[in-house]
Structures are given as structure tokens and as C-alpha cells.
Structure 1
């Protein structure tokens, strides 16, 4: 059986790790070659994805281990250049695993299309007329994209908002139609935009106004994913810090982020350190996920923490996260980029809803990893230890010399390229 708990994985060579993955997954030789290749995205493929292509740009692909979510094992592909992120997420996932794992759920996969109308003579009458013809508009939207309806999705509802109606508003009064579309396992940007554009002429006719924008919203607050973990204090014991001390330090760190936007931005960036690498690995739009997550962090009127951390009656540390997840498992780069397809194979998710649950669980783990470090030895100790390898490479170290130089930099507490170059020269002599 596949297990995400692979002891000592980080100590193994790259080839040893590849052999482990080969034994665990039914990849073909061709697929393994693509995963192991130094350039799985060809320039020809890249040229079909974006404009003005001159080459490809690679980032490291690592595996987040130890994840147990809703009782299922997950090995999580993570694409990121920052040291310590994959290690931290895997470390916290092991702690949560020992506590029973993450529980996660998600709402229906409903995304929002917006149609902006300007210049109505009577905005309230226009709103009433649109609502009166709601079903006809929903049907027209579905007629524009019948394939999503055949897959069990499609436009399901519609409502109307009037913005800037105050007499002293410096902006134009406008009517905005929200079209709610079940995108099933697609992220849905193209289909929503197509639907919004298709019903724009009808809306102009009904409202006697002029339609300007017809586009999706990345604030996908009807496509939410949630994750939760409950950790007994003894599992949090770290060095000279008791589990209770770590628990309380994590809660105080969270309270700082919940109270102060200056701290919340960095706190939430740490959460996205876990989320973005999975979104990127699976070929999804990480800018859309970022935008939606940060907008959702203002839902209570002030920018705050994307997570909550508290203590339950038994003294356990309880972590929770809820975020919009505008992601998909079909279409877009997930269909074109070979590594995105293989990342989804590694994850073994059956739907976009399941993928969203994995993503927020990783975000919650990454957040706890950062808060736990801040509450104990500080963030730099572990981060700089891993960063030392990059410094050694930048100084010209190769092969076994990289680890030797990195260990010496950590020992000296002087992790600089200049110092690393001195050590490289000494070893060469």
C-alpha cells in the first residue's frame, strides 16, 4: 500500500528517491523519463502556451510527505524555490498524522461571472426585470456551453447588485449581474467568460443600459475549502520547550496576525508558501488563488489571518483554515504541461474538490511550521540551515563538497557566499 510516511526520505539521493516513487506508482517508462528529465516542458509546447517564447524556466519539484487527510494518504508535489518549505510542511504533517491527521471538506464548485451594466435610466427597475427573467438568462448561459451541463455542471443561479447609488459617490452608478456556475472539475475561467459574454446582449436589452465588463471573479467565495487539525500538546514538545509552551506560543503568534495587518501579511505569506507550490505543480493559476485568498482575508472588514489557532477544553491545539479555491483538475495547463499531469497522478485526487482539500491542508501545515519555529528557536535556525546549501553552490561547491561546506557554514553561524568561497578554496588546496 502507498504510504506518505517515508522515513529518512530527505537523506536519500535523488536517484534513490526516484526508485521509491517508481515502486509506489504505476508510471510507465515514458512517464518516468518525463518526471526525471531535466526539461520535461519542451520549447515547442511552451510556445503553444504563451507568447514570445524563447525558452523554459525550471523550479525544484519536491514531495511533501506524511500527509494524512480524511484518512487517505497523500504524497504532495510542491514546486518552489524557497528552502525549508517542503521540509517544514512534511515535519508538521507528521505531527498531525500522529494526532490522527487532517480533516477537510469543501463546498460546491461554484464560480462567479460578473456582467457590468452602466447607464440604466432606472436601476431598480432594471434589476427587477433581470430577476424576473432569471431562468431565461440561466438557460441562455447554459446554451452557450452545453459541454459543462453534460458533465453535471453549468449555470445554476443569478442575482443582481447595484453599486455606487449614493448621491455623493465619486464613481458611476452601475448594475452588476452575478452568474453562479458549477464548473465541476474545471477551474472554469474560459467557460464563465463565454457564458457572461453570451448573455450580455440579452442583459443590455432587458436593462436598456450598456454592458462593459463580462468576466469571472477570482473571489470564489462559493467554492470554499476547509481543513482542521487537533494536536495534543505532547506532540508539540520541541527541545527545551514543553508542548504547552509551544501551543501557547502558536496561539499568541496567531493572535498577533489576527490583530495587526502588518503581521498578518507575513503570516499569510507563510500559508501561501504551502499553498502556491501545490497549485503550481498541478498546473493551476496560483495568481488567482493568491488574489482570492487575500481578498477573503478581509471578509470581516479588516485584513487578518487566513487561519485560526485555539485551545480546546482538553488543552489540545486546534488549527483551522477556510479559503476560496479556484482550481481544477481538467483543462488549462493541467492538460498541456506534462509535469502537471504527473503531479495529479502523484496526488491521486479524484476531483477538484478533493484537490482543494489537500491544498488547504498543506497551507495549514505550513502555517503551523512557521508559527512553531517562531514560538521556539526562531525562524532563521532551520531556514538558514537549509539555505546554507544554496550558498555553498553559489560559492562554487560541487558534489560532496556542497554538504561539507553547508555544514561548516552552519557550525560557524556565518552563512555568506564570501565565507563559503573561503572554505571552497581551503578544500581545493
Structure 2
């Protein structure tokens, strides 16, 4: 590739010009242009829609859109769409769903739906005076955002509370306005941020007008929602008699499986290295649903991982209880999701996902996503504590390996049949492909 120059005004170029600029850094620019354009949508209107989701777009990046069927949640049967490129995730969720469909299915409940936003500011005056004035300020905050919150309040949401937080032990003169919100079916970022910015203006104005406080000005640092929503919680669980776990694997008894499974969860609770991979498996399922619905998986991940470390050590997001012959496996995780606004109705496949899920409210979607996380995690632990993770995972990964070698459809069919009873690895598949080509 050629050395990259500093490009000025790239955002002002049209799409064709951007493609040419990027392709010019390759020794085969015409082929690069053709490759990038091969992923454009055939329908011009849809392609334009996709381009407007982000900036400086030159192509589309495809991810597989799969379905996990037979997912019973609180007695209702779902087909759950999952957008993910990792082999075996959809299979793990589907297998877990099938397993639990005859054992009561998945159970869920919403613990809370509170979201948080903060105005971060400094002020050098007397805290006691500011604190005494805060009830008056609080009334102004609610009144001053009445126009912003009107529609949200009509839907049953709005501002729940606002508190003044003294943070001077951490940073000199530093305070927060910490506000809690219920945004009902929207993720609520724009709503929350609009309220917070209005709070900041009201704070500066009212303090400047108060003769006891205006000796020092309010210096607003920033006004922004937090993606950490520990009180926006959903819980999902499966449970059955231990004897009903019989058949989970032909080579292990129900009692031995329950014992090993419990130990595996305990390991993920006390060991950070294991907890990280354990929780990653949970987010394999959650993220896949979040992506399929056009929600923000980065926010959901950040929140979940922070919650996993809430006591100062990173731990498993799941817990297990084995008592009096009963097996109960629980996932409790915070997540802020929306079913209105953003891409949830704008992206054609996100809209399709919502329709397939029965046009869920935000609390319903939280429960569906949590179940996808628990299902994938259960499937992973089931494999780990019985036959091992690689046998199933590498079988699912086989097609990816074959595609690396440019295998034809006939070669793929031959390989799939051959590896039904053999272990899969990159080198073994490479040797197999070389042998049949000779």
C-alpha cells in the first residue's frame, strides 16, 4: 500500500470520490473499487438509508442474521433473531432453548428500569449554602424542563429524582447533579441529555441570581447520561429438579452434571480470568439480540461489565443455587434498551426483528435479550463441563476454515461428511483439502 497523505475535506467528497480516495492507496484501485461497490444494496433508496446511519460511508459490512427457535419465555414461544459472526453462538442458544423447552422454559422479571444522567460542575462556595438552596433549585429543574418532559410524562416516564452529590473528596470543588429517569420504551439518551443540558443552564442562572451564592460562578464541565444503569435491571433464570437434567449428556449423570456446573459457576465468581470469558459468553447472546434490534451494544456491554465489577472485583454475572434436589441458574444484568427511536424502526431488519418478536415494549426486549445471554452461556458451560468446548465449536467453525482455502461446494460437502466423526483443526482441514485436490 502507498503511504497515506493527510486528506483535507474528505467528508465533503461524494461517495464515489471517497471510494476512489481510499482505493488509490492500493496497488489495484479498480479491483478495490469493484469490491467495495459489490456490497452496496441493489435498491438505491435502501443504500442511501444505510449510508445516513453514519458518516463517511463507502460500503456496507454484512453480518449473518440468524434465528434461535423454540425459546420459551414465561410460557410464550419466541423465535429470536441474532446478529453475530461467531460460529456456534446461535447453535448454543438454540440447543439450550430446545433443552429447556421441556423443563419449564426460561423465566424472567424486570427488577427496575431507572436510568441515570449527570451534570458535572465545580463551585468554590460554601457547600452548606448550596445544599440549603437545592430544594428551590430542584423545583426550577422540574419546571424548566416541563416542555422537554411533557410527551415522556404522558407515556408514563420522565424525571424521577434529582440529587446534589458532593464529590469534593475526589476533586477540588467538584459536584454533580445526579438525575434518575424512566424513559419507558425509548433508550432515552437524547431525552436525558436534553434535560441535563437544561439543568446546567438553570443551575448557572439561579446561582448567579442568588446573593448568597453568586460570589463564585458555576463552572459546568459537562452534562451527559451515564451508560452505567445498575438500577435498570433484568433477571432471567432456568430451574428444574436435578433428576430432570438426566440426558444433558450421555456420558454424565444428572447429579454429576449439576455438581460440575455449580463448580464452574463458582470458579467464574472468584476468578477474574474465568469471569471475563464466562461473561463474554453471556454477551455473545445479548449483543446478538441488541444488534438485531438496532440498539447500542457498546452501551449494554460497558454497563454489564461495570456491574460485574461493582464490589471491586470482576465476577460472573450469573449465580447458581442447588438445594433440596432443585437446580436454579440465574442471570441478573443491567441493560438500557429501546423499542422506539434510533434505528429500531428505521433499519429494515431491525424493524423486521421487532415484528418477529411481537413488537415488544422495552421491558419485554430486556427480558428477551437476557434470555439469549443466559441460553448461550448455559450452552457454553454445558459443553465445557461435559465433552469440551472445541468439539462443537470447531465443527461450526469448519465452513469458515474451508472458505479460507477457497473450497468448492463439492469439497465442502465432502469435508463436512468426513469431519462428522473427526476432530477439526485448521492444519487437519488444510491437509484434508490438499489430499482431495491431489
Pair in the same fold by TM > 0.5: yes
The CA distance in 2 between the partners of 1:287 and 1:407, in whole Å, is 39
Say which is worse superposed, 109-118 or 78-87, in terms of deviation. 109-118
Change (3 A) 1:124 1:349: farther
Residue of structure 2 aligned with 1:219, choices 223, 228, 241: 228
Say whether 1:370 aligns with 2:380: yes
Mean Cα displacement is larger for which, 49-58 or 400-409? 400-409
Distance in 1 between residues matched to 2:357 and 2:158, nearest whole Å? 27
2:82 alignment partner in structure 1: 78
Task: Specify the alignment match of 2:330 in structure 1.
Answer: 320
Q: What is the match of residue 7 of structure 2? A: none
Moved more, 189-198 or 145-154: 145-154
Which of 149-158 and 258-267 deviates more?
Answer: 149-158
Distance 1:94 1:127 in 2: 57
Range with bigger deviation, 247-256 or 95-104: 95-104
* Greater Cα shift, 352-361 or 405-414: 405-414
CA drift at 1:229: 1.2
Match of 1:391 in 2: 401
2:33 counterpart residue number: none
Q: Is the 8 A contact 1:117 1:204 kept in 2?
A: no
Distance 1:124 1:211 in 2: 19
Which one of the candidate residues 339, 350, 373 is aligned to 1:329?
339
Q: Which residue of 2 aligns with 1:112?
A: 116
**Residue 293 (structure 1) aligned to one of 304, 307, 310:** 304
Q: Deviations over 1:306-362 (max 9, x none)?
A: 01012022x222111111111100110112211100011111143000010111111
* Other-structure match for 1:188: 188
Is 1:311 the equivalent of 2:322?
yes
Tell me, in whole angstroms, the C-alpha distance in 2 between the residues paired with 1:241 and 1:142: 62
- Say which SS state the counterpart of residue 157 (structure 1) adopts: strand
> Which sections of structure 2, spanning at least 5 residues, go unmatched?
1-39, 208-216
Paired with 1:43 and 1:132, the residues of 2 have a C-alpha distance of: 51
SS at match of 1:276: helix
Cα separation, 1, equivalents of 2:55 and 2:120: 29
Residue in 2 aligned with 1:209?
218
CA distance in 2, matches of 1:382, 1:266: 17
2:237 is aligned with 1:228: yes
State the shift of 1:428 in Å: 5.0
Counterpart Cα distance in 2 of 1:185 and 1:395? 46
* TM-score, normalised relative to structure 2: 0.83
Task: Provide the C-alpha distance between the structure 1 equivalents of 2:103 and 2:277, rounded to a whole number of angstroms.
Answer: 27
Q: Distance in 2 between matches of 1:127 and 1:296?
A: 30
Partner SS for 2:344: helix
How many Å separate the matches in 1 of 2:185 and 2:225? 16
Does residue 53 in structure 1 map to residue 62 in structure 2? no
Distance 1:56 1:124 in 2: 56
Distance across 2 between alignment mates of 1:381 and 1:254: 21
Separation in 2, partners of 1:387, 1:107:
37
Matched, 1:146 2:157: no
Contact (CA 8 Å) 1:126, 1:206: kept in 2 or not?
A: no
Which residue of the partner structure matches residue 423 of structure 1? Answer: 432
Partner of 1:88: 92
How far apart are 1:286 and its partner, in Å? Answer: 0.1
TM score, norm. by length of structure 1: 0.85
Closer, same or farther: CA 411–99 of 1 in aligned 2, 3 Å = closer
For the Cα contact (< 8 Å) 2:181–2:192, is it kept in 1?
yes
Deviations 1:266-305 (A, max 9, x none): 1111111111000000000000000110111122232111
Change (3 A) 1:403 1:119: farther
Residue aligning to 2:258: 247
Structure showing greater radius of gyration is 2
Q: Does 1:200 align with 2:200?
A: yes
Q: Which residue of 2 aligns with 1:176?
A: 176
What's 2:351 paired with? 341
Please say if residues 145 and 194 of structure 1, whose CA atoms lie closer than 8 Å, have aligned partners that are also in contact.
no
Q: Name the Cα RMSD after superposition.
A: 2.1
SS at match of 1:55: coil
Displacement of 1:421 after TM fit?
Answer: 4.5
Segments of structure 1 that go 5 or more residues without pairing to the other structure are 1-36
Q: Does 1:413 align with 2:417?
A: no
| 1:402 counterpart SS class | helix
